[in-house]
Structure 1
């Protein structure tokens, strides 16, 4: 069948009709996929299938709307021929809706659109890189500064070329799309190549931080093993010097197959196979720093990431003329996203230096801003404090900071005194008073959540301490008043995003009332990877609970602390950061190395207030005076004395990779008594790690043997039962007995396999009579499981490719399966009509609306067939949630693993009419019900 021409130019007189046509197409897509409304680009050359996701039934609806709007009747073959709105416009011209085209000599050629300044239509990070490679491949992307401050420039083309070597090496080692690759690398060229190379190869990068101190090697590797195991990382890319330590992790991480350096991957050769990823796919896993417990892997999709970059860029008016100077590590979201990926998107130059270079000599950061004309930079509060305490005037003679328009301060609580003193100290070096900019963000929101108005400078709120600590009321206090608290504004939510403050019951609170901070928007992540329990703990419908406390005043956000860190003592709320800051200023204690936390008393259920502070002092008299001073400060600030004061040696207070106090971990050390004995020698830690690794190898070997025996048993059982079941289905003359026979065989198979499903809701199915079922699809065994679990009165709806197979096709036809075409649009519409006839004849149908499945968890986009047919036939639709089959036999794996299977059948859902919008409403209601009951994220990235 001939294709429609795409080269016919549009007449100027087509403009009104084309605009009307595109509006109808756009509205249809938005109704079908409302989550894609923001940033949706519909043009004459958009592919109806690939770009806009219009399946056959969606096209039927679109055709009907166009015919009604333009008063035409399209030829039937247009349904299968049309690929773009341009083809539809051409068909409208043929129907006489448009004036004839002028002759070629008089036609006005379309002027080429101006090149955009940013890749505004990019859907993934790889699209962003491709855009730059096409438009400005030799533009300087990153300027890498070494320890001697020599500059190594990296263009977009060089980034791509270096990353290709890593991608080839990973693919040669068997990396499959969607698998995790951990990056334990310092900031530098290797990290950039490894991150982009993993994306090019189709993998999911997992940045983790390398060990900082040998004295804490055991704890570090234990935490990294937990991250790698949770991410199911198949490869670890690290520096050659760390490979020996990294190999200690392998016995504790069953999925880990490869430990290699960037150079080894690049030298391994091989051909590169492009892997296309979608906007809703996971771009990378950002493991939270663990300040409130064990690390959790936030699933950041490409759509989340680009939405956040675009919103932050709009909030701070970023342009390609900016220069961002950063020492932030790449394993931290502020460095990875705010500095580097922001540069990748907006094409501003990133000047990148090592975190160790900054820590050794903080003045290097400011001099880099001076030398390269830095306009943007970001750091946690401690970095600004470090500049105040560690930089002498003689170190910065001649320094010019006048270009620095935004000194972003985030990632940890912002100290009002730090802001004030930083401006006072460095304003004489040209720093604008408006430059310090407190911001708020977290990994669960991709990065940024709230930014203040530009050029205003910091806004400090002074509130009455007593009212705030006892009643949660942020009542304004007069300047100079005693007994006050100060909080810093982080501004308003980013464009296109929302924030709110709620009480413990989820009710929204008025301004100046402290409560739980929640946020929503396109940057909001889908939750935590392989951790549905923690995901459910923070998700509140469309809102995500930040686990932070705060209040709103004049629409601006003021953070007050972490909900988990809040200590309630004698009816008062005690905020650790406030106390830690004051105690850290006591001479003799290590500043920034104080942890205040509550330790629950088992007998009474109350909390003890504990202060843990690091000191070098050993003299008993000096230590007693330090304890007395700590006691005085705590009573003054909190109104109650501490129950215990622990003076510990340096490095006893545990911190995250970004320098935040890990209060929960400190509490665990305190309650286990480990703070008293101090840390063990390095050789003891390594020995214990080695023994733990050996035991893990033994346990892993036993698990492998047991899994192999189980897998072999399942395949033996399958090959014994499958031929007999097929033969029985082929020989039985009637469909009813045939279905009953297959139902019994499936029940016997799952029982012998030890995976008999636990089913809830069968009575709902019996009560509703004829119906349409819609089940999620996660594995090849879903059909077998449903055959065993459901009564044998449903016809499966299967893809038409199976009908042509001699064995599978015959079997499915014998049990009454119905087939639908997925690719040929005309046949697809005909099959939909046949399904409608089956329903009219009293048949009940079972659909898998996702149409397919993959190894990566997540509920995929739904095709509309089940919902349109249920609506038009006025039949109830019952959603069916299947849990556990992806573990039993995931996509790409032919070795079954034992798993518990659960099936939940929902109550009847009815469409509110027989139209397209009613069918979409039924689809959305079904999807929401399934997501509530599945331990999987929303694959649409909403």
Structure 2
């Protein structure tokens, strides 16, 4: 990139359009597995048209613009149109018409937080979006732009030229997933994005013959930065499909990889399990995965048994187990933080579970001890400094000791949009001896022989079946729907099952004094409220006496400590509801 001077994504797209106008940049595979291809020149022209529409609607002010599209070429045109207009793009899930009461408040909160009235979408959705958002925003009608109706201008004068190069200019507001009440936009500049794209390309071993194939949502960091921006930055084609198509027909992902000869693909852990469960012998026989050089896995805990099952099931396709590439990252660091070596295989360690979770020590399990298997997520890139730190004292932890993962890198985001205090706390950490600034990840990790092993989450994010949930959402549902529990005296968190294969939701609440029969009814009400409102069935509900939930001196709930006490059997339980064991699953091929 240096040979061309500093660039943003508008300049980068334009350069690709000039140098390789007809080359395929993206391929979108529909649910029937037909495909539409879009080249660099076509995308460049559409982006300029969208930019002109944005600037006309905002009187030339580059304010943030919300992107509400289904995955496809229109989403790309809206995204790069924002880059051309110099307007920060705000990717978001389109509202679900069947569950507007749940999806509209989050969109309204994002619009309010981002400080924009500009919404980009398509003509089939525009009228509905305007009506729905007007209701959600209490009568304030946003400016909804249907980009497919935007008229292209003359070949030269009608399209904006690439704006002056300002790599530090905001490019994205990447809103964290899972919270409907308190969304936080991670502010990412072109420079941060391009640095992380370079880190991904380096870590993945991308070369001129590389190509990608992904189904990941383009609204979040892994699908957007890993699946859209990195391929463009490195000039490799990528085949994409909707996450809805994948969930309906998981093997369509692998057929896409096989059909288009992708060398790079990847997904969260649950996707590999899903493919193993759904694959028939006929499915396997019809696949050729021998060309896959790198299969990344991240965004949720990586399970060694999942990797082994997938590699065994799809070995007849030519899939190589050593192509698995466990990696670690987070939106606040743009995306990628650590990874291994392409075709270098993966490493897991069997550690004593109680020592790891209760005392923060990573040691091999002895005979008879409960085991926690962790998969190594590689090492940071040359520009990244990674520390394992005591979160209370700021003291770096030694090899083999669990602590919070802190990251220092040019990829680390500029902070949370319009949240200076939270940004200072999260992005401005310094160690006890004054080194920094570092990003506090909120994740717990340990380094063994220099490699990062992620041990859990200190932060509140819960990942269940590949979906992110914030405990505050779960707790607020309980407090709004269930009498008999004490407000602001509950904690939701995830624990692993006995085999370490599945994360399960646990909800703990202080209960108002009542008899045992009332406690059981209250626990059942908590279970039903969370299941109905959030489609997240709890595995365990525990009620405890008043004033026994762990809190800080300032009254903040300590979810991590509640989880630790739950695992150690130290909670004073009034009643416990626990889901019955599922019947053994039988599969056919």
Q: CA RMSD in A?
A: 3.4
State the SS of the aligned residue for 2:337. Answer: strand
Rounded Cα–Cα distance in structure 2 between residues aligned with 1:580 and 1:212: 32
The within-5 A match list for 1:145-156 is 145-156=29-40
User: Structure 1 residue 341: deviation in Å?
Assistant: 0.8
Q: Which of the residues 453, 456, 461 maps onto 1:558?
A: 453
Instruction: Tell me which residue corresponds to 1:484.
Output: 371
1:544 matched to 2:439? The reply is yes
Q: Which of the residues 180, 184, 187 maps onto 1:299?
A: 187
Unaligned runs of 5+ in 1: 1-38, 42-118, 568-573, 586-591, 604-609, 618-622, 629-633, 649-942
1:264 matched to 2:159? The reply is no
Instruction: Tell me which residue corresponds to 1:90.
Output: none
Instruction: Tell me which residue corresponds to 2:302.
Output: 414
Aligned residues of 1:566 and 1:575 also touching (Cα < 8 A): no
User: Structure 1 residue 156: deviation in Å?
Assistant: 0.4
Instruction: Tell me which residue corresponds to 2:325.
Output: 437
User: Structure 1 residue 138: deviation in Å?
Assistant: 1.5
Rounded Cα–Cα distance in structure 1 between residues aligned with 2:82 and 2:461: 40
Aligned residues of 2:284 and 2:314 also touching (Cα < 8 A): no
Rounded Cα–Cα distance in structure 1 between residues aligned with 2:528 and 2:293: 36
1:202 matched to 2:86? The reply is yes
Aligned residues of 1:236 and 1:256 also touching (Cα < 8 A): no
Instruction: Tell me which residue corresponds to 2:384.
Output: 497
**Alpha-carbon deviations, 1:98-148, whole Å to 9, x = none?**
xxxxxxxxxxxxxxxxxxxxx764421122112212321211111121222
1:463 matched to 2:351? The reply is yes
User: Structure 1 residue 359: deviation in Å?
Assistant: 1.0
Aligned residues of 2:388 and 2:402 also touching (Cα < 8 A): yes
User: Structure 1 residue 238: deviation in Å?
Assistant: 2.1
Instruction: Tell me which residue corresponds to 1:141.
Output: 25
1:221 matched to 2:131? The reply is no
Instruction: Tell me which residue corresponds to 1:246.
Output: 129
User: Structure 1 residue 396: deviation in Å?
Assistant: 3.0
Rounded Cα–Cα distance in structure 2 between residues aligned with 1:508 and 1:120: 40
Instruction: Tell me which residue corresponds to 2:71.
Output: 187
1:645 matched to 2:555? The reply is no
More deviation, 296-305/526-535? 526-535
**Alpha-carbon deviations, 1:493-525, whole Å to 9, x = none?**
123111111112111000111111110111011
Change (3 A) 1:150 1:552: same
Instruction: Tell me which residue corresponds to 2:230.
Output: 342
State the SS of the aligned residue for 1:279. Answer: coil
**Alpha-carbon deviations, 1:440-474, whole Å to 9, x = none?**
11111011011122222221121112222321111
State the SS of the aligned residue for 2:496. Answer: helix
Q: What is the TM-score normalised by the length of structure 1?
A: 0.49
Change (3 A) 1:566 1:530: closer
State the SS of the aligned residue for 1:249. Answer: helix
Aligned residues of 1:202 and 1:277 also touching (Cα < 8 A): no
Of Structure 1 and Structure 2, the greater strand share is in 2
Rounded Cα–Cα distance in structure 2 between residues aligned with 1:453 and 1:376: 13
Rounded Cα–Cα distance in structure 2 between residues aligned with 1:581 and 1:160: 52
Change (3 A) 1:362 1:120: farther
Rounded Cα–Cα distance in structure 2 between residues aligned with 1:159 and 1:466: 53
State the SS of the aligned residue for 2:201. Answer: helix
Rounded Cα–Cα distance in structure 2 between residues aligned with 1:250 and 1:420: 50
Aligned residues of 2:388 and 2:404 also touching (Cα < 8 A): yes
Aligned residues of 1:292 and 1:564 also touching (Cα < 8 A): no
Aligned residues of 2:106 and 2:181 also touching (Cα < 8 A): no
The within-5 A match list for 1:39-118 is none
Rounded Cα–Cα distance in structure 1 between residues aligned with 2:11 and 2:249: 38
1:383 matched to 2:271? The reply is yes
Rounded Cα–Cα distance in structure 2 between residues aligned with 1:637 and 1:422: 33
Of Structure 1 and Structure 2, the greater helix share is in 1
Aligned residues of 2:305 and 2:501 also touching (Cα < 8 A): no
Aligned residues of 1:419 and 1:458 also touching (Cα < 8 A): no
State the SS of the aligned residue for 2:423. Answer: helix
State the SS of the aligned residue for 1:233. Answer: coil
Instruction: Tell me which residue corresponds to 1:525.
Output: 413
Aligned residues of 1:580 and 1:595 also touching (Cα < 8 A): no
Aligned residues of 1:320 and 1:349 also touching (Cα < 8 A): no
Aligned residues of 2:26 and 2:39 also touching (Cα < 8 A): yes
User: Structure 1 residue 344: deviation in Å?
Assistant: 0.6
Q: Which of the residues 207, 222, 237 maps onto 1:319?
A: 207
**Alpha-carbon deviations, 1:621-654, whole Å to 9, x = none?**
xx9xx989xxxxx999934287543769xxxxxx
Q: Which of the residues 112, 118, 126 maps onto 1:235?
A: 118
Aligned residues of 1:124 and 1:277 also touching (Cα < 8 A): yes
Aligned residues of 1:165 and 1:265 also touching (Cα < 8 A): yes
The within-5 A match list for 1:789-828 is none
Rounded Cα–Cα distance in structure 1 between residues aligned with 2:281 and 2:528: 29
Q: What is the TM-score normalised by the length of structure 2?
A: 0.77
Rounded Cα–Cα distance in structure 2 between residues aligned with 1:423 and 1:174: 52
User: Structure 1 residue 492: deviation in Å?
Assistant: 0.6
Instruction: Tell me which residue corresponds to 2:516.
Output: none
Change (3 A) 1:292 1:228: closer
Rounded Cα–Cα distance in structure 2 between residues aligned with 1:291 and 1:646: 26
User: Structure 1 residue 531: deviation in Å?
Assistant: 1.2
**Alpha-carbon deviations, 1:824-857, whole Å to 9, x = none?**
xxxxxxxxxxxxxxxxxxxxxxxxxxxxxxxxxx
Q: Which of the residues 496, 507, 511 maps onto 1:579?
A: 496
User: Structure 1 residue 398: deviation in Å?
Assistant: 2.8
Aligned residues of 2:426 and 2:440 also touching (Cα < 8 A): yes
Instruction: Tell me which residue corresponds to 2:177.
Output: 289
State the SS of the aligned residue for 1:522. Answer: coil
Greater C-alpha Rg: 1
